[in-house]
Structure 1
């Protein structure tokens, strides 16, 4: 992983999903960090891309239209990144609406579980915590819920909120039925994009990772990520070489909550801009 000119951060989130900044602010931060390119990869929505593209034109930063699709496989939530998707493709947009509806169901069930544990929060409080209206094509995520848990004293910080309540296996964790990684790859390719397996180290199951690689029509794997240790980077780099996958990376920037940057800061994990050409070429395969 590296920083600087000729580098790109291919994993950032904005207010369109569970990030803290407007899409244009992510672009400005990329400019400040000396990056050449950035991708906006919000959860199950492309609502932030137009603003980011306009900012990219203004500040001389290449903006890669992206998305991070929520899937389920092997009893785990698996995320598939899509790069260069046509963010105006009607079928793709309709499909993303269905995914956000699943998110809304999950959020309601999480709140129900929390209330059953004696945690007195509501979904309205979570939405009001945004400090602005929630737009129709935006999505609420677990970090928003964690934010309220911290503010109301049910957790000491974001990490504690996830460990205690929201992470997989925690007391209030919920996973609704989702599409498969194979379907996500198909949707991304049908929208003109290039699908990449996100942060494989987070899943804690390399057998499952290999199985997904063999079954799904992936173009790449996110070898470099803020939550990957060096030994994981080396392991997934070897996996990428074995299965002829493009090596990608990004910070998974969400912004700062309670003064702590969630995952990593923009530009803290990058890859060469040459990866953009590789991803673009993979679209026709």
Structure 2
């Protein structure tokens, strides 16, 4: 069974529609797909229709932008009730923060002599729920200032680069609490992918485990062999679920092909069991409402 639990559609910063993402997963031989757009569930319904038609099991999720001890951290929230009001409020705050930073980035780019407008960014982004840095990067590519998203981030948009603009973020512990109350569970995404371990060292991850974190995304393209081995050891010591995934964005991110990293079936079973427990504790109907497919065997 081939299980990829982290992929993005054009609802956030991927380039495939939700249905197109599922078709791409089926073509890549993926049996179980996690649809995890940034800070939104807007792609779930279309993905579910296509997944049912193609026989792909769907784990519905989202990648939530948070802050922990002063550092930005992404959380993969799986199987929450997307209509739970406190979760809706948190996600609205995150999306508003994403949207508000775009004019600031454009202003900084214009100060650098880059002729870009907010309207151009929004046009390139299309009907996404979460306009952000990747769409500014796409607008820079379209205007001919850079050749790729990667070059746009390296030259202009990453922290420390001249057009980087920070934004407000929800505190990580608050997201853990709300996702759990919504009947879902959280896995920290690519914890060592863009930084040294920092606040997500063994002590930090142990603290998050005590606050309800369920798993660590260990097998990710941004983790080298040594990082994966160390994270796997931490997960084992803390009894955390170990996931693996592509973090697929279509043509928006190279070297992240669907299925390049996978989650073991027994780890998916643990994740689903934890979500069942969370749904039961929250008095909700449980994961069958939000998960299409059969449990791994």
| TM-score normalized by the length of structure 1 | 0.90
- Kindly state the Cα deviation for residue 112 of structure 1 after the two structures are TM-superposed: 1.9
Instruction: Note closer, same or farther for the CA distance 1:212–1:111 as it changes in structure 2 (3 Å cut).
Output: farther
Matched residue of 1:231: which SS? helix
Q: Which residue of structure 1 lines up, in the alignment, with residue 295 of structure 2?
A: none
Root-mean-square deviation (CA, aligned residues, Å) is 1.7
Q: Which residue of structure 2 lines up, in the alignment, with residue 254 of structure 1?
A: 249
CA contact (8 A) 2:64 2:75 kept: yes
Q: Which residue of structure 2 lines up, in the alignment, with residue 101 of structure 1?
A: 96
- Kindly state the Cα deviation for residue 108 of structure 1 after the two structures are TM-superposed: 2.1
Matched residue of 2:193: which SS? helix
- What is the alpha-carbon distance in structure 2 between the residues aligned to residue 168 and residue 243 of structure 1? 31
Aligned residues: 273
CA contact (8 A) 1:7 1:271 kept: yes
**5+ unaligned residues in a row in structure 1: which ranges?**
1-5
CA contact (8 A) 1:49 1:87 kept: no
CA contact (8 A) 1:17 1:42 kept: yes
- What is the alpha-carbon distance in structure 2 between the residues aligned to residue 185 and residue 279 of structure 1? 15
Q: Deviations over 1:149-186 (max 9, x none)?
A: 12222223221110111112211112212112211211
- What is the alpha-carbon distance in structure 2 between the residues aligned to residue 117 and residue 187 of structure 1? 41
Q: Which residue of structure 2 lines up, in the alignment, with residue 36 of structure 1?
A: 31
- Kindly state the Cα deviation for residue 213 of structure 1 after the two structures are TM-superposed: 1.6
Mapped pair 1:205 → 2:200: no
Q: Which residue of structure 1 lines up, in the alignment, with residue 257 of structure 2?
A: 265
Q: 2:48 aligns with which of 36, 53, 61?
A: 53
- Kindly state the Cα deviation for residue 207 of structure 1 after the two structures are TM-superposed: 3.6
Mapped pair 1:173 → 2:168: no
Matched residue of 2:6: which SS? strand
Q: Deviations over 1:224-257 (max 9, x none)?
A: 1122211111111111112211001111111114
- What is the alpha-carbon distance in structure 2 between the residues aligned to residue 242 and residue 213 of structure 1? 11
Counterparts of residues 11-160 of structure 1 (less than 5 Å): 11-130=6-125, 132=126, 134=127, 138-160=129-151
- What is the alpha-carbon distance in structure 2 between the residues aligned to residue 186 and residue 109 of structure 1? 31
Mapped pair 1:10 → 2:1: no
- What is the alpha-carbon distance in structure 1 between the residues aligned to residue 204 and residue 44 of structure 2? 28
CA contact (8 A) 2:187 2:215 kept: yes
Matched residue of 2:248: which SS? coil
Q: Which residue of structure 1 lines up, in the alignment, with residue 281 of structure 2?
A: none
CA contact (8 A) 2:194 2:222 kept: no
Q: Deviations over 1:47-101 (max 9, x none)?
A: 0011111111111111001000001234432101011122333432232112101
The worse-fitting range, judged by mean Cα deviation, of 208-217 and 142-151 is: 208-217
| TM-score normalized by the length of structure 2 | 0.87
- What is the alpha-carbon distance in structure 1 between the residues aligned to residue 181 and residue 215 of structure 2? 17
CA contact (8 A) 1:252 1:263 kept: no
- What is the alpha-carbon distance in structure 2 between the residues aligned to residue 95 and residue 168 of structure 1? 24
Q: 2:217 aligns with which of 205, 217, 222?
A: 222
Q: Deviations over 1:92-126 (max 9, x none)?
A: 22321121011111222212221222221111101
- What is the alpha-carbon distance in structure 2 between the residues aligned to residue 275 and residue 52 of structure 1? 23
Displaced runs of 4+ in structure 1, greater than 6 A? none
CA contact (8 A) 1:247 1:275 kept: yes
